[in-house]
A and B are shown apart, each in its own frame.
Chain A
C-alpha cells in the first residue's frame, strides 16, 4: 500500500513537471535570462508554501501518516561543496535544460534523447563517488 501511495505521488509530480513546463529547456533558458516570472513563480511559491508546511510539521509535531515522528535533519555545514558543486550543477542544468526530476519526466514524455543525459548524469554521480575523497568539501 505504501508503495502504491508513493507511486501516486510520483505520478502527480510527473504530471506537474510536464504541465508546468518546468521540464522545458526553453523555460530554463528564459529563467536564466531573467525574462519571465514563470519559473521564479513556481520555485518561489513552492518554497513559500513549503516553509509554512515544514513549520506546521515542526510546531504541531505532526506525525507521519503511519504514526512515526517526522525528523527533518539539518544539512551538513559547509561552503565549498555547496558553491562549487552547485555551480557545476547549474552549468549542466542550463545546458541540458533539465535537472534530475525533469530528466525522468522527459523520458516518460517520450523524448528518448534525454536518455543520453540521464545515463551521463548517472556516470557523473559515479565520478563524484570515485573522486569524493580527493575533493575539497
Chain B
C-alpha cells in the first residue's frame, strides 16, 4: 500500500498518464458527452453576453453546462493533485534542454513546475510578461476555435476517431509550436 501511495505522490510516467487520458475520453463518450476542453471558452463568451452582437455566440449555453462541470472538476482535481498528491512539484526535464533554458534566462528549469520568468508575482512587474501571456492566450483561444478544437478535441478525440481534419489540425499545432520554439524564442530571449 505504501509503495502505491509513494508512486502516486511522484510524477506519473507517460504509460500511466496517456491511458488515463484515454479513459477520460472513453468515460465521457459513455456518459453521452464529448471530450473537448476549448468549447468551454466559447460557452464563457456566451455567458458573458457575447451573443448579443455576434451570432457565433447565440446558442443555448445551458446545453453545454455539463462541460463546465467537467472543467470545475479539472480545477478541483488539480488542486487535490497539487496539495495532497505531490511531495514535490519539480519537473525534471532533459539535462541538455535544462542547460539551454538556463542560458536563455529560464533559471529554474528542472527546479519548478512553471518558469518564474512568466508565472510569478515578480514577473508581473514586467510589462513584457503581460504582453507575452496575453498574446499567447489570444493565440490559443482564437486558434482553437478557428481549428474547431484543441489538444483534447483534435489530438485525443479526433485522432482516436481517425479524423483526417484532426490530423491536419495536429500538424498545424506542431507547425506553430516548432515555429515558436525554434524561430521566435531566439528573437524574444
Interface set of B (CB-CB < 8 Å, partner A): 8, 11-33, 37-38, 40-42, 44-45, 48, 50, 54, 56-57, 66, 69-82, 85-86, 91, 93-94, 96-97, 100-101, 109-110, 112-115, 118-121, 123-124, 130, 132-152, 154-166, 168-182, 184
Interface set of A (CB-CB < 8 Å, partner B): 2-3, 5-33, 35-51, 53-54, 57, 62, 64-66, 68, 70, 72, 74-79, 81-101, 103-111, 113-114, 116-130, 132, 135
Q: How far is the CA of A10 from the CA of B131 in the complex (A)?
A: 31
Partner of A113, one of B93, B120, B173: B120
Q: Is there an interface contact between A89 and B139, defined as CB atoms closer than 8 Å? A: yes
Q: How far is the CB of B148 from chain A (nearest CB, A)?
A: 7
Q: Is there an interface contact between B73 and A45, defined as CB atoms closer than 8 Å? A: no
Partner of B156, one of A39, A46, A94: A46
Closest partner residue, chain A, to B116 (CB atom): A113
Q: How far is the CB of A85 from chain B (nearest CB, A)?
A: 3
Closest partner residue, chain A, to B108 (CB atom): A26
Partner of B69, one of A10, A24, A30: A10
Q: How far is the CB of A21 from chain B (nearest CB, A)?
A: 5
Q: A50-B25, A89-B150 are in contact. Are A10 and B74 (CB under 8 A)?
A: yes
Besides the contacts A14-B77, A90-B175, A121-B138, what 5 more A-B pairs have beta carbons closer than 8 Å? A46-B22, A51-B159, A65-B31, A75-B148, A88-B176
Q: Is there an interface contact between A92 and B176, defined as CB atoms closer than 8 Å? A: yes
Q: Which B residues are CB-close (under 8 A) to A118?
A: 137
Q: How far is the CA of A45 from the CA of B163 in the complex (A)?
A: 17
Q: Is there an interface contact between A108 and B74, defined as CB atoms closer than 8 Å? A: yes
Q: Is there an interface contact between B77 and A108, defined as CB atoms closer than 8 Å? A: yes
Q: How far is the CA of A2 from the CA of B31 in the complex (A)?
A: 8
